[in-house]
């Protein structure tokens, strides 16, 4: 039997990657480490949880969509968001997340630019 798979849009994956990149940059953890499927060190795990929470609050995604975009299950996304919400009681983490949310929203509001060169019908 094939494992359960949910289709995820390319746009959702791009947004999840943006949240991972911002979290990784702010918390000093390489994105590649956060994306590993095997067990990661606690710092990378918490950075990944922060990215999931960032996607949840910045994009207004339900936990199931967060989970699918990050390639994880809903229980993991829920645990991540509960942890991050609890951490927001810390003023330093709360300020960090406020800044990351604003940055992510600002980037997502920028106009899309088509980078395909004008070819005039030729290749």
Q: Sketch the domain layout of the chain as residue ranges.
A: 10-108
Provide the whole-model pTM.
Answer: 0.86
59, 76, 79, 108, 122 from 46: Cα distances, Å? 20, 12, 11, 24, 49
Expressed in angstroms, the distance from the first to the final Cα of the chain is 44
CATH topology of domain 10-108: Chromosomal Replication Initiator Protein Dnaa; Chain: A; (1.10.1750)
The pLDDT value recorded for residue 119 is 66
Considering the chain, what percentage of its residues have pLDDT values greater than 90?
A: 76
Q: How far is Cα 38 from Cα 9, in angstroms, rounded to an integer?
A: 24
Residue spans of the chain under pLDDT 50: 123
Q: How far is Cα 112 from Cα 98, in angstroms, rounded to an integer?
A: 24
């Amino acid at each position: 039997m094939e494992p359960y798979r949910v289709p995820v849009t390319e746009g959702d994956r791009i947004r999840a990657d943006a949240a991972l990149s911002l979290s990784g940059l702010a918390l000093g953890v390489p994105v590649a480490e956060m994306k590993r499927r095997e067990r990661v060190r606690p710092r990378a795990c918490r950075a990944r949880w922060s990215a999931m929470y960032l996607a949840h609050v910045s994009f207004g995604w339900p936990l199931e969509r967060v989970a699918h975009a990050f390639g994880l299950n809903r229980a993991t996304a829920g645990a991540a968001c509960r942890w991050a919400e609890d951490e927001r009681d810390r003023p330093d983490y709360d300020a960090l997340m406020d800044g990351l949310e604003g940055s992510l929203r600002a980037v997502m509001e920028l106009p899309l630019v088509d980078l395909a060169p004008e070819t005039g019908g030729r290749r």
